C-alpha cells in the first residue's frame, strides 16, 4: 500500500458519458498530480493541484477537469467520453515536486 488511494479500480462506461475518478493523497502530501497512461501516448501529465489550487497544467483536454478539496483529496472529471479516452489514470502525491511522487494503483477506464 503506497498510501495514495484511488477509486474505483476499474470503470466501464459508454461513449458520451461522464465519470469521476477519486484520489486521496498520502498523509502530509499537499500536491496531487494526475497522469494518463495509454499504449500509444505513454505517461502523460494532465494536471497538478497544490493545497487546493491549480499549480500546473499539461495535456489535459477541455472535456476533462479536476479539483482538490479542503481535505486534500482530488477528483478528476471526464466528460463526453470517447473510445480514445480508454486508459489507466494515475494519481500521485508529493510533499515537494523535486522529491519524487508516490503513485496510486490507478483507475482503469474502458469506454465502450
CB of 64 to other proteins, least distance (A): 16
- Give Cα separations from 80 to 16, 26, 105 (angstroms): 4, 30, 25
Closer residue to other proteins, CB minimum distance, 13 or 102: 102
Closer residue to other proteins, CB minimum distance, 37 or 79: 37
d(CA 6, CA 84): 21
CB of 91 to other proteins, least distance (A): 9
CB of 33 to other proteins, least distance (A): 6
Contacts with other proteins, residue ranges (CB under 8 A): 2, 4, 33, 35, 42-43, 45, 48, 55-56, 58, 90, 92, 97-106
Sequence-separated contacts (24+) of 69-72 with Cβ below 8 Å: 72/24, 72/25, 72/29, 72/30, 72/32
Amino acid at each position: 500500500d503506497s498510501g495514495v488511494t484511488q477509486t474505483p479500480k476499474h470503470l466501464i462506461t459508454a461513449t458520451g458519458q461522464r465519470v469521476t475518478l477519486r484520489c486521496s493523497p498520502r498523509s502530509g502530501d499537499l500536491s496531487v498530480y494526475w497522469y494518463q497512461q495509454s499504449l500509444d501516448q505513454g505517461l502523460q501529465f494532465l494536471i497538478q493541484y497544490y493545497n487546493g489550487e491549480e499549480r500546473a497544467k499539461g495535456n489535459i483536454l477541455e472535456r476533462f477537469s479536476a479539483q482538490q478539496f479542503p481535505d486534500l483529496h482530488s477528483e478528476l472529471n471526464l466528460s463526453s467520453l470517447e473510445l480514445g479516452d480508454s486508459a489507466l489514470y494515475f494519481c500521485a502525491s508529493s510533499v515537494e515536486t523535486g522529491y519524487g511522487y508516490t503513485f496510486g494503483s490507478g483507475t482503469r477506464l474502458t469506454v465502450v
